[in-house]
Structure 1
Amino acid sequence: MNRPRLFIITPPNMDAETFAPNLEAALSGGDVACVLIYQPDANTKTRQDAAEKLVPIIQAAGAAALIYNDTQVAGRTGADGAHIDTSLDDIKMAVESLQPAKIVGAGGTKLKHEDMETAETGVDYLFIGRLDLEEKEEPHDKTLSKAQWWAELFETPCVALAGSTLDSANAAAATGADFVALKSAIWDHPEGPAAAVASANVILDGHEFQDTE
């Protein structure tokens, strides 16, 4: 698929049992590359319980299931990988323990030299945008400028975090990022998550990568 793919992020305080139907609906709406099970404040047991419930749903739809900041849960639950944004040392440890069998993504960087150091660890993707910041309708300007810089110069794939509206995927995709991440724009869509994913894919279809050969 020669255009950006969709990377969706679960609500941070979701209950896995009640959230599962919404996730299934989202994944029925069209192409989704990855789902990040994002529980920043959860303990290990809560993360594991959620992963055991949600990972099979994600994988059955052909998407990659990623666990936030927990390589052990990623390993124990058969998830496809982990997303680490705590420190460079933690990213290095995740790469050593999970690759090549599983995906390791990384983010949380603030400075460009940190992005380059992170990529040098061998991660599978660099996530550009701060998951812990309050969502705005449009992507943060720094996210857009950094994603464009990265996409133009580096081989490691990048994910650009969009805003709280579906239309914000346009700006994120225009950077040339390999993936566009959406959070509440999927789960709060008035027509439901399946319609949100379908609409997001229509937007991404309009951003084919330029053939560089």
Structure 2
Amino acid sequence: MPDADNRCRLVLILPEGEDIAQRAAMLEGALKGGDVASVILPQYGLDDGQFQKHAETLVPIVQKAGAAALVAGDTRVAGRAKADGIHVAGGIEELAETVEKFTPRLIVGGGNATDRHKALEIGEVQPDYVFFGRIGGDIKPEAHPKNLALGEWWASMIEIPCIVLGGTDPQSALSVAETGAEFVALDRAVFADPAQAPHVVAAVNALLDEKAPRFEE
């Protein structure tokens, strides 16, 4: 298997759902498809108690597959579920506090970088990664042009890795890779039909193996 460490890698965002067993099966299936760097597990509409139960089931599945489990939502849930990291969906103050409190014990990254100025402000608090896009924002087949442009600008200039949200078409992963971004996040592209998730993950990895630019050592 080609080395995925020297090219853009896949990050999965698990879609919302109430049924833990269904979500666990969907996630397990996707992770069998091939290389996944990390999985973001958002809280969505779950209350903290429900989210805790989901996280305690889902985090070990991610870790068993060799990926990092990033919990987006309640930081106490992340701690109790022994997640690898926290994805901060809120603003810069929340991100700064989370970085200060949990780095380097946990991976801490975040988004809401809607323009260059905000992205640089986020970079100043030294997260482990910056996320371009918003969870649930993958509504078109292609990645949002603004996120691609921000990812390209960031990757060419800043050492902190970035994750750029792709679109609903798995092929959009390549346009993200071509920006130089270290990671592409996919949600609907992989999970729209859970039965197909392993095949989509395999296909995206094959596409990136074949066509994604390689990072210099």
Aligned to 2:140: 136
From 180, 201, 214, give the equivalent of 1:209.
Answer: 214
Alignment root-mean-square deviation, CA:
1.5
Q: Tell me the CA shift for residue 191 of structure 1.
A: 5.6
Taking the TM superposition and a 5 Å limit, the aligned residue runs for 1:71-150 are: 71-133=75-137, 135-150=139-154
The answer as to whether partners of 1:85 and 1:109 remain within 8 angstroms in 2 is no
Aligned to 2:182: 178
Judge which range, 58-67 or 200-209, deviates more: 200-209
Query: Normalising by structure 2, what TM-score?
Result: 0.93
Q: Distance in 1 between matches of 2:18 and 2:196?
A: 16
Q: Distance in 2 between matches of 1:78 and 1:126?
A: 22
Q: Tell me the CA shift for residue 40 of structure 1.
A: 2.4
1:96-130 CA-partner distances (Å, limit 9, x unpaired): 22111110010022221111111111100000112
Aligned to 1:20: 24
Structure 1 alignment gaps of length 5 or more? none
Aligned to 2:156: 152
User: Aligned AA for 1:180?
Assistant: V
Query: Normalising by structure 1, what TM-score?
Result: 0.94
Structure 2 alignment gaps of length 5 or more? none
1:34 aligns with 2:31: no
1:72 is paired with a residue whose SS is helix
2:164 is paired with a residue whose SS is strand
1:126-174 CA-partner distances (Å, limit 9, x unpaired): 0011224351110111011111000101000000110001111111111
From 70, 74, 85, give the equivalent of 2:74.
Answer: 70
From 196, 199, 209, give the equivalent of 2:200.
Answer: 196
Aligned to 2:54: 50
2:112 is paired with a residue whose SS is coil
Identical residues among aligned pairs (%): 42
1:192 is paired with a residue whose SS is helix
1:61 aligns with 2:68: no
User: Aligned AA for 1:64?
Assistant: A
Find runs of 4+ consecutive structure 1 residues off by over 3 angstroms: none
The answer as to whether partners of 1:71 and 1:81 remain within 8 angstroms in 2 is no
The answer as to whether partners of 2:177 and 2:213 remain within 8 angstroms in 1 is no
2:6 is paired with a residue whose SS is coil
